[in-house]
Amino acid sequence: MLLRDKTAIITGGSKGVGRGIALKFAREGCDVVVCARNAAETEKVAEELRALGRKSLAFALDVANSAKVEEMVERTIAEFGKIDILVNTAGEIAGSDPSASKSIALIPEEEWDRIVGSNLKGTFLTMRSVIPQMKKQGNGVIINFTSLGAIHPPTVAPHYHASKAGVIGMTYDTARELGPFNIRVNAIMPGPIRTPFFDKLVAGMTDEEREAFFAGMAKICPLQRVGTPEDCAGAALFLASDLSAYVTGAVIPVTGGLPLQPTL
């Protein structure tokens, strides 16, 4: 087991990529604190992890709420005595409303604040909260989730893509700062991954239209398929374990081979 006796916090852990990582980590010997907004869904995942023989706590919280984040971290330390790994998968997309996702001139300020708050501020708050404990321990791993759209936008969604680009910058910066404390900070950059993340985008489509939507995404990938939560979980396991002991400040694409042209 690559994560035997480790303790991880996973935000956005109630479904999709976060749930996939939680299950992968548990099978590798890791106790997991699952965080997401929906209390029932979060507890359900925690029960799945306990069924695998691991300890698990469920926290219903909004990662953009600093008081709730601090409470969750304090409870984790009280329960487990340490925090070995933080995985930030929590995030939010604007949805299918064209006025909110197609033009920067039409984005309401509150929509901007909500997306940036969930995707960028939330990552900042969780990192800020776990770092003192990781420094005290003399080790730790932080894995942030950005998006291919941060460097290669497939459509126009400036608030979402700006927030995910900010995660990249914060990952580089904190990797430089925290390296001397034996804290590694890396990021995973997913491409098209089929998860409930797309629910808002495909809402209202027929089953045939939905399958055609994902088939079209698959065609543009060199690997000719849409990714799965398991694809991201494998990359997260690599970054969380000693297999990547000399890796920090890296952004790993899990994109099926995209993009197909230089991005800079």
Point out the residues that are catalytic: 160
222, 151, 116, 216 alpha-carbon torsion, rounded to 10°: -30
Q: What is 89-127 written as a DSSP string? A: -------S-HHHHS-GGG--HHHHHHHHIIIIIHHHHHH
Burial category of 216 from C-beta neighbours within 10 Å (exposed 0-12, middle 13-18, buried 19 and up)? exposed
72, HSE (Cβ side, Cα atoms, 13 Å): 31
Q: Which residues of 69-83 are buried (b: 16+ CB within 10 A; e: fewer)?
A: beebbeebbeebebb
